[in-house]
Structure 1
Amino acid sequence: MEEQQTPFQAAIKPGLTMGLVALAITYIAYFIDSSLLASLWLALIGLVVFFGLIIYFGKQYRAELGGFMSFGTAFNFSFVAMIISGIISLIGQILLFHVIDPSLPGVLTDIAFQKSLEMMEGFGQNPDSLPPATLDEIRNSTAASFSIGGQLKNFGIGLIIYAIIALILAAILKKRDKSLDY
């Protein structure tokens, strides 16, 4: 009889796959046009691919378990896979921003800053009416998010988001054996 993997063991391969897919999307976008990395569309495409992959791998794991999976097992599987994927993405982005193209954070900071100003205008706020110190603060906080410390901080915040997403995915992936109710 084949021994079943724990959710932690089962999440390693999907986590690695999702992390490498996320890196591939990031690097392809970078090579096409680095400004795509600041695009909302790229983020949405990545999110759809991410959700699709974790649901696909989760259903595969559920089938491995005999077609049923508890909420806790589904949560553990999803959360661990996302953490592994996040670590791979973090390493790849640190390499991209600090080794491959150290000027990229400055380019992305400028794009994000401009988008922030455009968003302010869209909400009726005139960016020219803001004090220069406030504009500098917005630019500096945007630039700080691309530093290694900023990326680690964003990953820490991402862990909370991963937990919330894992709860949603666990609700989708769980399936209980109703034959045990009798």
Structure 2
Amino acid sequence: MENQETPFKAGLNAGVILGIVSVVLTFVVYFISPITLASGTFGIGMLVVFIGILIYLGIQYRKSIGGFMEFGPAFNFSFIAMVVAGIISQIGTALLYNVVDPSLPGVLVEQTLENTMEMMEKFGAADSMSTQQIDEMREGLSANYTLMGQIKAFGIALIIYAVLSLILGAIIKKRDKSLDY
């Protein structure tokens, strides 16, 4: 009997690959232009790359186990890969924020606040903001870069990972129609 890789082990391997790619891309962008880390474009771009690599690795895994995979194992593969990648990414960003450049969170908070205010100006809502409200926004944004803020963000990310895994599981799965009667 052929020894096949389980969805857990394949997801673990894919997660390590995704996590390393995420950390490397984050550090490359940091060294090129740290302010880019605060842009929505960077986040969306990372998500697209992340999902693209995960679909590719999922299809490769499906091919390695015979070309067919039910939804359950496809979901497990995707979710485990995202959780592992998320943990590695969190460790990488914690190192970036606390060891490599402890002043970076302050820079990112100010850039995010500036981006938010520009967006609010486009909708005509910036004028109604008081200094106190802006300071509260700044404090809230600063809290996101603390260790506790990172842990809370990861908790929210787990919910997002589960939803994305449902979608990716549906994309990666492939039923063996020859088993239908």
TM-score range, shorter chain: over 0.9
What residue in structure 2 maps to residue 141 of structure 1? 140
1:152 aligns to 2:151 (yes or no): yes
Amino acid corresponding to residue 33 of structure 1 in structure 2: S
Identify the residue that residue 53 of structure 2 maps to in structure 1. Answer: 53
Letter in 2 for 1:69: M
The one-character-per-residue Cα deviations of 1:154-176 (angstroms, maximum 9, x if unpaired) are: 01100000000000001101110
Q: Distance in 1 between matches of 2:106 and 2:120?
A: 21
Write the letter of the residue equivalent to 1:62: R
2:87 is aligned with 1:125: no
Query: Helix, strand or coil for the counterpart of 1:11?
Result: helix
Distance 2:25 2:40 in 1: 14
Local SS of the residue matching 1:48: helix
CA RMSD, aligned part only? Answer: 1.0
1:64 partner letter? S
Name the stretch that deviates more: 158-167 or 45-54.
45-54
Q: Which runs of 5+ in 2 are unaligned?
A: none
Could you list the per-position Cα deviations for residues 45-75 of structure 1 after superposition, in whole angstroms to 9, with x for gaps in the alignment? 2112101110011001111121110011100
Name stretches of at least 5 consecutive residues in structure 1 with no aligned partner.
Answer: none
- Distance in 2 (CA, whole Å) between partners of 1:48 and 1:155 is 19
Amino acid at match of 1:49: V
1:25 maps to 25
What's 2:74 paired with? 74
Aligned residue pair count = 181
Give the secondary-structure state (helix, strand or coil) at the position aligned to 1:90.
helix
TM-score w.r.t. length of structure 1: 0.96
Percent of matched pairs sharing the same residue: 52
Alpha-carbon distance in 2 for matches of 1:37, 1:83: 21
Q: Equivalent residue of 1:146, what SS?
A: coil
* Comparing 170-179 and 33-42, the one that deviates more: 33-42
Does the aligned pair in 1 maintain the 2:39–2:112 contact within 8 Å?
no
Distance between the aligned counterparts of 1:136 and 1:33, measured in 2? 26
**TM-score by structure 2 length?**
0.97
